[in-house]
Amino acid sequence: MSENGEFALVPRPPSALEKAEPGAKRILSVMVEDTLAVARCEQDEVEAIYQRGLEFSERCENGQAFDCFKRAAERGHPGAQFSLSLCYQGDDGVPQDKTEAAKWHRKAAEQGDVEAQFFLGRAYEYGHDVPQDFTEAVKWYRKAAEQGNAWAQNNLGAAYDNGQGVPQDFTEAVKWYRKAAEQGDAEAQCWLGSACNTGRGVPKDQAEAASWYRKAAEQGDADAQFNLGWAYEYGVGVLQDKTEAVKWNRKAAEQGHVYAQFDLGLAFDLGEGVPQDYAESAKWYCKAAEQGNVEAQAQLGIAHYRGLGVPQDYSKAITWFLMAAEQGDAEAQLNLGDACDYGHGVPKDHVEAVKWYRKAAAQGYARAQFRLGVCHAKGLGVPQSYAEAVIWYRKAAEQGYLLAQENLGACYANGRASINLDVGRANWQDPEDPVEVYKWVKLAEERGYEGASKTVAMIEALLSPEDFQEAERRYNEFKASLKT
């Protein structure tokens, strides 16, 4: 500290070069320059060895490439170290040595080789030759991502998206997806499109979603092609265009995308965006079904059952129905029940039919509920019970299934279903309330069911003017719903 209380700067001691005499300074300066030049020559020489290794590798001269990579790697070249680690994987005529591969891979990553960092992250993510460790995977992805590696940026985005190795953070996921997407990474473009479509981590913008899907789809990304097809099919972010939907679904389907294959089969089945073609439909259903798609298995079963685009073959139909039904597909369960009920492709077995109807009915499938009601009404595979039949008819009828509505009305009309004669307005939600029953019986009367008119007259006599007005209102609403 100086006399006036201020801190004084302490001068830096002179270096050896500064203290030297002028002649000695020139000698020292030349020595420093020579040292730097030697180092540069050393680097240039190592780089040259590495480049020769790459040239040998391109010509598939793997032995010479290995020698060059090893010489350069041992002298600290990170790119050569990574290349040497790949050689030790055993793909280039070099005996596999996972220990050496891991050693050189890590050396390269620790020296900042971006590809080595990315692939080390992948190794930890999937547990390839190292214990699976999502946190360690994120660490290496981040190092590579911060150097601008698009693959690592995409994978880091996915880590945040799924909460693997880091706390889930959709905003952070979108940040890294965008960095990779803007470099042209198709997978990141597709994920960014999905985020924009759902508003996950970014304001919802379905037009922007479609734009990112298109960028990725045009690079051949099958998921993006399927997503773009979906956008055109339903008019999400783009004008609805079934033809364009088929175009993109076909591109994805031809790459083996299972959902695109199913959607393409459905388009040919319904004639949406393409002329109806059951043979083409069955072809695409088959491709998706063989990949395990449950909906496709169910639809392929229908094609064989009805002979749509393929020869009718109940046995093949049963095979596909059973595959889908055992995985919980309600439509396949219903169709399998029908096959058992009618003895198509299997021995007629009403008990087995009821088993499959019940599985589909429990999932809320209206036609299965109706068929289960018929079985109870006729005593097929179960003890005969109109009360049980009415329960299932009502479940299907309330979903708008017309045959169930007619049968329910008929049960009330012919006295096979009870009507609670003691309930009043406060109990209108009771399924046996005459105000609620009125609409079903009135429908049966319009359909010409025997006894319906008499039951309608009985109900009308029971109801007060206010209740009758309410019953008519419900029936008129019900009739209007049938027309729509």
Note whether 227 and 257 are within 8 A (CB).
Answer: no
Tell me what pLDDT residue 37 has.
45
Tell me which residue of 110, 108, 86 sits closest to 98, measured CA to CA: 86
**Tokens 């990553």 identify what position?**
109
Phi-psi region of 418 (alpha: psi -120 to 50; beta: other; left: phi over 0): beta
Q: What is the pLDDT of residue 34?
A: 46
- Distance, in Å, from the CA atom of 439 to the CA atom of 484, rounded to the nearest integer, reads 17
Q: How far apart are CA 274 and CA 257, in angstroms?
A: 19
* Residue 252 identity: A
Per the structure block, which two tokens stand in for 453?
């008119």
Sorted by sequence, the CB contacts under 8 Å of residue 215 that are 6+ apart come out as: 181, 184, 186, 189, 224
428: helix, coil or strand? Answer: coil
Query: How many Cα atoms sit within 13 Å of 317 on the Cβ side?
Result: 27
How would you class 152 by CB atoms within 10 Å of its CB: exposed for 0-12, middle for 13-18, buried for 19 or more? Answer: buried
What does the DSSP assignment read for 30-81?
HHHHHHHHHHHHHHHHHHHHHHHHHHHHHTT-HHHHHHHHHHHHHTT-HHHH
What's the CA gap between 151 and 184, in Å, rounded?
10
What pLDDT sits at residue 405?
83
- Which pLDDT tens digits describe the chain residue by residue (484 residues)? 445 555 444 555 665 545 555 555 555 454 445 454 444 556 767 788 888 878 877 888 888 878 887 887 788 788 888 887 788 887 667 888 888 888 888 888 999 999 999 999 999 999 988 999 999 999 999 999 999 999 999 999 999 999 999 999 999 999 999 999 999 999 999 999 999 999 999 999 999 999 999 999 999 999 999 999 999 999 999 999 999 999 999 999 999 999 999 999 999 999 999 999 999 999 999 999 999 999 999 999 999 999 999 999 999 999 999 999 999 999 999 999 999 999 999 999 999 999 999 999 999 999 999 999 999 999 999 999 998 998 999 899 888 888 888 888 878 777 766 554 443 433 334 456 778 788 888 888 887 877 778 888 888 888 888 888 988 998 888 888 776 5
In one letter, which amino acid is 428?
W
Q: Rounded distance, CA 471 to CA 464, Å? A: 10
> What is this structure's pTM?
0.79
Closest CA to 391 of 358, 413, 357, 417: 417
Domain boundaries, the chain: 413-484
Residue with tokens 């003017």: 465
Which pLDDT score, from 0 to 100, does residue 300 have?
Answer: 98
- What whole-number distance in Å separates Cα of residue 6 and Cα of residue 333? 92
Query: Closest Cα to residue 108, out of 81, 83, 89?
Result: 81
Position 301 scores a pLDDT of 97
Q: Which of 329, 322, 325, 337 is nearest to 371 (CA)?
A: 337
pLDDT at 422: 44
Report how far residue 103's alpha carbon sits from residue 309's, in angstroms, rounded to the nearest whole number: 58
Q: Where are the beta strands (DSSP E) in 130-196?
A: none
Question: Which residues, at least 6 apart from 49, have a Cβ–Cβ distance to it below 8 Å?
Answer: 68, 71, 72, 75, 77, 80
* DSSP-based three-state secondary structure for 254: helix
Q: How far is CA 338 from CA 64, 331, 335, in A?
A: 69, 11, 5
Task: Provide the 8-state DSSP code for 425.
Answer: G
Residues with Cβ < 8 Å from 249, sequence gap 6 or more?
Answer: 225, 226, 229, 233, 260, 263, 264, 267
What stretches of 424-464 show up as alpha helix (H) in DSSP? 434-446, 452-462
Q: Rounded distance, CA 300 to CA 279, Å?
A: 11
Among 315, 250, 309, 259, which residue's Cα sits nearest to residue 289?
259
Residue 326 has which token pair?
A: 């055992």
Q: Which long-range contacts (CB under 8 A, 24 or more apart) does 4-11 make?
A: none
- Kindly provide the residue ranges of all beta strands, DSSP E only, lying in 93-175, ordered along the sequence: none
Yes or no: say if 212 and 226 are a contact pair by the CB < 8 Å rule.
no
Q: 31 Cβ partners below 8 Å, 6+ apart? A: none
Helix or strand (DSSP H, E) at 415: none
* pLDDT at residue 65, rounded to an integer: 79
Angle at which helices 150-162 and 134-146 pack, to 10 degrees?
Answer: 140
The token pair at 150 is 């698009």
d(CA 331, CA 337): 10
Helix (H, G, I), strand (E, B) or coil at 22: helix
